[in-house]
Structure 1
Amino acid sequence: MACLLAALPCRLMAQSAPPFWKEILAFKAADAQVTPIAKPIVFVGSSSFRKWVDVNAYFPGYPIINRGFGGSTLQDVIRYAYDVILPYKPKQVVVYCGENDLAANVTPAEVVMQFRTLFVMIRENLPHTTIDFVSIKKSPSREKFFPQVDEVNKAILAFLQQQHNAAYIDINPIMLDASGQPRPELFLSDHLHMQPEGYALWKKVIGPYLLK
């Protein structure tokens, strides 16, 4: 009985840990081993950033810290902003998120509100930091959500046009064919995540926005 009681707190802790907490702990452990570069560019968001493991090779000379994690939503990024964004005091934050939100049937209005919440959180804590949003891509496996993707992207573009030190980075035009459909050769077999060819296109579009 005593052994069972002793094990209970650990089990409760495991059950109560928020989503992706292990990944956040891994970031913290990495930072403890190597001091993060000063005034970095933080890439944050969902798995399209998380899987860009060689992002620094695409942008040599840019102080990028990749803090994409899991299949995160904007709510997750907000939850961990004090862990994966604000401590680094970045000169620039590049966000890719919202795709998983829509796939979980979060409404476009809610997704936009979550992004605005994240934007305000960053701006209030880091008033001189540039904040950029990479448009939600049109993944073949999520074709039924394309109208919602368009709605969110359009609303976030309109919001960012009213802000200073902020930009909307539209990666969709270069990823679509002449008929407006996603180019299948850019995606892995899951039709969601990208091949290196997809990231090469992202480099072309995102690169001009990055701060030296």
Structure 2
Amino acid sequence: MLHAALPLALVALLLPAAQAKEAVNPLLLQPADTLEQRQIAELQQRLLDWPQLQRYRDENAALSAPVPGTPRVVLFGDSITEGWGRTGSDTFFPGKRYLNRGISGQTTAQMLVRFRQDVIALQPAVVVILAGTNDIAGNTGAASQAMIEDNLQSMVELAQAHGIAVVLSSVLPVSDYPWQRGVQPAPKVRALNAALKRYASAHNVVYLDYHTPLANRDGGLDKALAADGVHPTPAGYARMAPLAEAAITQALARPR
């Protein structure tokens, strides 16, 4: 029974992260014994493997070494990155076959734990980091801007220590989270992005600004670009793709 395996207090703690995967149809917090089996399994797995290191472990092990003359690029992030597609190339980056290592619902703390396995060990020339919105939403608990910055800066430092060029992406515009109403994220996103831009300028990092060309006057995303206000539609990704491609090209041209 769930009562013995997963106490209600832990369900209450972990449920926001599970809800992040169901942003279009968020689930209300319920007593543990009424949760669907899929949700229960998901929450139990989070207890066993909080950063989800198992997600790409087999794919990473099967990956061959980078081909000389063909720089490897890793897209690293949460559901917004995962939405590019499993290879990151099928629609938006034709012929590039960028490696996608996005996991829905993840915060920067979880991503930092798996950075060595899902980025450094793959020996990319460039990593594109896009994260922070789930921290602001509180998916794994309250996170201050300083905490988010610390995690992202640690990822940058790890990458640079291993000769990997970094593209540090802005957090996408968002005016409300469908699974976490009332957070009022727009000003928090703007403040975090301003800090990331300053950091990138001071540390030889390419800053990828998605926010400026995508934001509406409320600091969010129009429905044409993100039906739920968070996750890009194909039209949203089509706006993002050339910006990402230009940033990757710029990163590859920089001395490391």
TM-score bracket for this pair, using the shorter chain length:
0.7 to 0.9
- What is the percentage of aligned positions where both structures have the same residue? 19
- Call closer, same or farther: CA 1:171–1:79 in 2, change over 3 Å: same
Displacement of 1:33 after TM fit?
4.2
Give the equivalent residue in structure 1 for 2:108: 74
Which residue number corresponds to residue 191 of structure 1? 229
Residue 139 (1) aligns with residue 168 (2)? no
TM-score between both structures, scaled by the size of structure 1: 0.82
Would the alpha carbon gap of residues 81 and 131 (structure 1) be closer, same or farther in structure 2, given more than 3 Å must change?
A: same
Q: 1:36 and 1:202, CA in 2 relative to 1: closer, same or farther beyond 3 A?
A: farther
Measure, in 2, the Cα distance between the counterparts of 1:26 and 1:118.
19
- Spell out, residue by residue over 1:8-39, the C-alpha distance to the aligned partner (whole angstroms, 9 max, x if none): xxxxx967523252xx3242222344536444
Structure 2 counterpart of 1:17, from 48, 73, 77: 48
How large is the Cα RMSD of the aligned pairs? Answer: 2.3
1:150-189 per-position Cα deviation (integer Å, ceiling 9, x unaligned): 111101100110112x21110112212467553221112x
- Note the residue ranges of structure 2 that are not aligned, 5 or more in a row: 1-43, 178-182
Secondary structure at 2:143's aligned position in 1?
Answer: coil
The SS at the match of 1:48 is helix
2:60: which partner in 1? 31
Aligned partner (choices 131, 135, 146) of residue 109 of structure 1: 146
CA spacing shift, 1:48–1:120, aligned 2, 3 Å: same
* Equivalent residue letter for 1:111: I
Q: Which runs of 4+ in 1 moved over 6 A?
A: none
* Matching residue's letter, 1:71: G
Tell me how many residue pairs correspond in the alignment: 194
Structure 1 residues 181 and 45 mapped into 2: Cα distance closer, same or farther (>3 Å)?
A: closer
Q: Secondary structure at the match of 2:166?
A: strand
Query: What's the CA shift string for 1:33-62, capped at 9, x where partnerless?
Result: 453644410100111001221620311243
Q: Which residue of 2 aligns with 1:89?
A: 123
What is the match of residue 7 of structure 2?
none
Is 201-210 or 134-143 further displaced after alignment?
A: 134-143
Distance 1:36 1:206 in 2: 24
Give the TM-score normalised by the residue count of structure 2.
0.69
